[in-house]
Structure 1
Amino acid sequence: MVAMVSFGSGQEEAGGVGGGGGRPAREMVPAMFVFGDSLIDNGNNNDLPSFAKANYFPYGIDFSDGPTGRFSNGYTMVDQIAELLGLPLLPAYSEASGEQILHGVNYASAAAGILDITGRNFVGRIPFDQQIRNFQSTLDQLTNNLSADEVSRAIRRCIFFVGMGSNDYLNNYLMPNYPTRSQYNGEQFATLLVQRYALQLTRLYNLGARKFVISGIGQMGCIPSILAQSPTGACSQEVNLLVQPFNANVKTMMNNLSANLPASTFTYVDVAHMFSDIAANARSYGFSVVNRGCCGIGRNRGQITCLPFQTPCTNRDEYIFWDAFHPTEKVNIIMARKAFSGDQSFISPMNIEQLANLAIEIN
């Protein structure tokens, strides 16, 4: 297959696609592999017996293919990052086959967590451990067509984008029907999560990953779902403070992994800082609505999330939030661009563009 060369070289010519801007003339990396939750899921839950789905209108109202399972009105953050890298939009693992997998695969699943038990209220979801096993299956598919050595060399140059942890708080620790909060205080829970996270990322490393982009948790206390629970409608400082130890521990974990895993590079996307910047400078970014969803029901349009065939707001580019939990396409594109080419206040120690261009030593 001629297209196989593109996986090994990352040099295939790339045409333009819709959404957040044109793709560069050449692919900067052979592929990108994505692991995470509903913030970057693009359809892996569609066929699961799950309450965590977005494959219905008005989700995808601004996406060229309509509702695909993306929890957004259009692009997710990783859609825009793929485009900036010169890659096509990645297929969901549940739908990927044949040559589709050659530019990368998205394994993210709504309601998924670092812990397997996270998100059980939604029934079906694909926790991080299973997402890693799914990546292993993709590797097996690739090595059926290429030599193991070719795949290994290409994988070292690929970007591995991982965004986990939000659901371990929203759909585990903060859920009244989970015992977690009575078992651990905030610091203990963050320690538990990040210890597990380090083992999972090490498994990806052992499968060949070398270039990691790790996305932190955002200002969770400011999402419409949490705002709707406040009598004053203000951000919950309690929730924002709860997730801070997780982000701090993730940065420490990344430094430790970089030091102990030869030829690995980890870079951290500071989503909390990105959100703070967008919220503080909302008007300069063109946003006029910062505290309620474009589609949803109840206070802050956050008590019940976007329902099938509900009429969303018409001025979507003026909203920071699409629904009770997720940002609009416009926010996703802004954050993706900051992650791709921004300075160290948003992503450190290097941005995704620099990581893509980084030469990986072979050992």
Structure 2
Amino acid sequence: MFVFGDSLVDNGNNNYLDSIAKSNYYPYGIDFFEGPTGRFCNGKTVIDGMCDLLGLPYLPAHANPNLNFSKLLAGVNYASAAGGILDVTGTFLGGRYSLKQQVLNFEEDLTEIKASFSHEDDYNKFLSKSIVVMVLGSNDYINNYLLPTLYTSSYTYTPEQYANLLLNEYTRQILAILSLGIRKFLLAGVGPLGCIPNQRASSTGSTDQCVGQVNQMVGYFNRGLRSLVKQLNTDHPGSVFLYGNTFDALEDILGNPTKYGFTVIDEGCCGVGRNHGQITCLPFAIPCTERDEYIFWDAFHPTEAVNMILAKRAYTGPPDDIYPINLQQLAQL
């Protein structure tokens, strides 16, 4: 499995040495890898949950200096915190890999992988059995469109135009990966960003309510992405593209928290001034003790408990959760 995305699925690509240090900061995360966790979570990300269900080892970061050929064959995580579909997204936060750069990093690794195969047919079979998971788009809103003091995108594009801009660039990079021989894709939609603590706190309304305007913006992107999946499946009959309905899955959890064992839906478990929803969990900050009862770990990211629910819904869920087939069925093809 090869992963492209943002901080929701990142495991240490921005700064490898720094992420090793973060993995040792009590009480965050668990060092599942030989290297860093680098995760914005109290434990496993949704990708880790998928690895568990698929029987795969946890994926190393592309930036891991100890990444060798044997690890490459099991899969790699190219995701980058603050990275987006657009190259300009998140630039104010410093070094990060945009989707375009993540794809270039993937191409670099494939060159090494291909050289190790004696027969090209074996290499092509390896690619055809591999799965690409892409989790992108959130940062293009949070760290771009919704920051009018830093970016002009919200003045230049209507929400619908901006969604189309993102989808056009997304399509280019998806086709670039497809041209390399990958045939299985899972494209995750963006969750209800208007419901994260950061946006609740930024709203002039009550923090008890989601910001409907933001969720409407995300809706344009998600509907376009689902349509793109249908079109890609039509245009490329030898490949399979899935759409992960992250928005509805998270909306279900937010709307029925007790059903899933959650009691806190509008603030993060960790972060200085976590009730204000403005920051991520800082080193040595004291998080809540009832972490399984919180939907959000910090102002932006879900807890491990939520990630495991999302992973299971992607793995065995019906078409309402993942379309047109689920991850388990994709892996069996």
TM-score (norm 2): 0.93
> In 2, Cα distance between the equivalents of 1:45 and 1:239?
27
Q: What is the total number of aligned residue pairs between the two structures? A: 325
Q: Which has the higher helix share?
A: 2
Q: Structure 1 pair 60/99, CA: closer, same or farther in 2 (3 Å)? A: farther
CA contact (8 A) 1:72 1:327 kept: yes
Further displaced range: 291-300 or 131-140: 291-300
1:125 counterpart residue number: 96
Question: Quick check: 1:158 aligned with 2:127?
Answer: no
CA contact (8 A) 1:317 1:328 kept: yes
> In 2, Cα distance between the equivalents of 1:129 and 1:75?
26
CA contact (8 A) 2:264 2:295 kept: yes
Q: Deviations over 1:152-195 (max 9, x none)?
A: 11111111101111111111111121111111010100111101
SS for the counterpart of 2:285 is coil
CA contact (8 A) 2:30 2:37 kept: no
Question: Quick check: 1:173 aligned with 2:145?
Answer: yes
Q: 1:201 is aligned with what amino acid?
A: I
CA contact (8 A) 1:60 1:68 kept: no
Further displaced range: 141-150 or 304-313: 141-150
CA contact (8 A) 1:45 1:124 kept: yes
Q: 2:260 is aligned with what amino acid?
A: Y
1:34-45 matched pairs, under 5 angstroms: 34-45=3-14
1:14 counterpart residue number: none
Q: Structure 1 pair 59/245, CA: closer, same or farther in 2 (3 Å)? A: farther
Question: Quick check: 1:108 aligned with 2:83?
Answer: no
CA contact (8 A) 2:12 2:39 kept: yes
> In 2, Cα distance between the equivalents of 1:161 and 1:135?
13
CA contact (8 A) 1:58 1:311 kept: no
CA contact (8 A) 1:295 1:301 kept: no
> In 2, Cα distance between the equivalents of 1:125 and 1:73?
22
CA contact (8 A) 1:92 1:106 kept: yes
SS for the counterpart of 1:112 is coil
CA contact (8 A) 1:58 1:73 kept: no
- Which of the residues 236, 252, 256 maps onto 2:227? 252
Pairwise CA RMSD:
1.9
Q: 1:172 is aligned with what amino acid?
A: N
1:15-30 matched pairs, under 5 angstroms: none
TM-score (norm 1): 0.86
Q: C-alpha displacement at 1:299, in angstroms?
A: 5.8
Further displaced range: 230-239 or 81-90: 230-239
> In 1, Cα distance between the equivalents of 2:41 and 2:241?
27
Q: C-alpha displacement at 1:73, in angstroms?
A: 0.5
1:142 counterpart residue number: 113
1:225 counterpart residue number: 198
1:50-89 matched pairs, under 5 angstroms: 55=23, 57-58=25-26, 60-62=28-30, 64=32, 68-89=37-58
- Which of the residues 286, 308, 311 maps onto 1:333? 308
- Which of the residues 239, 248, 253 maps onto 1:278? 253
Q: C-alpha displacement at 1:57, in angstroms?
A: 2.4
- Which of the residues 208, 214, 238 maps onto 2:213? 238
Q: Structure 1 pair 271/178, CA: closer, same or farther in 2 (3 Å)? A: same
Q: C-alpha displacement at 1:48, in angstroms?
A: 8.4
CA contact (8 A) 1:48 1:125 kept: no
Q: C-alpha displacement at 1:60, in angstroms?
A: 3.3
CA contact (8 A) 1:172 1:180 kept: yes
Percent identical residues: 47
Question: Quick check: 1:269 aligned with 2:244?
Answer: yes
Q: 1:75 is aligned with what amino acid?
A: K
Q: C-alpha displacement at 1:83, in angstroms?
A: 1.4
1:203 counterpart residue number: 176
1:280-359 matched pairs, under 5 angstroms: 280-298=255-273, 300-358=275-333
CA contact (8 A) 2:16 2:36 kept: no
Q: Deviations over 1:174-230 (max 9, x none)?
A: 112111111101010011110111111011100111110000000000001111123
Q: Structure 1 pair 61/163, CA: closer, same or farther in 2 (3 Å)? A: closer
CA contact (8 A) 1:58 1:67 kept: no
Q: Structure 1 pair 54/41, CA: closer, same or farther in 2 (3 Å)? A: farther
SS for the counterpart of 2:202 is coil
Further displaced range: 222-231 or 300-309: 300-309
1:97 counterpart residue number: 68
Runs of 4+ in 1 over 3 A off after TM superposition: 47-50, 53-56, 58-67
Q: 2:125 is aligned with what amino acid?
A: R
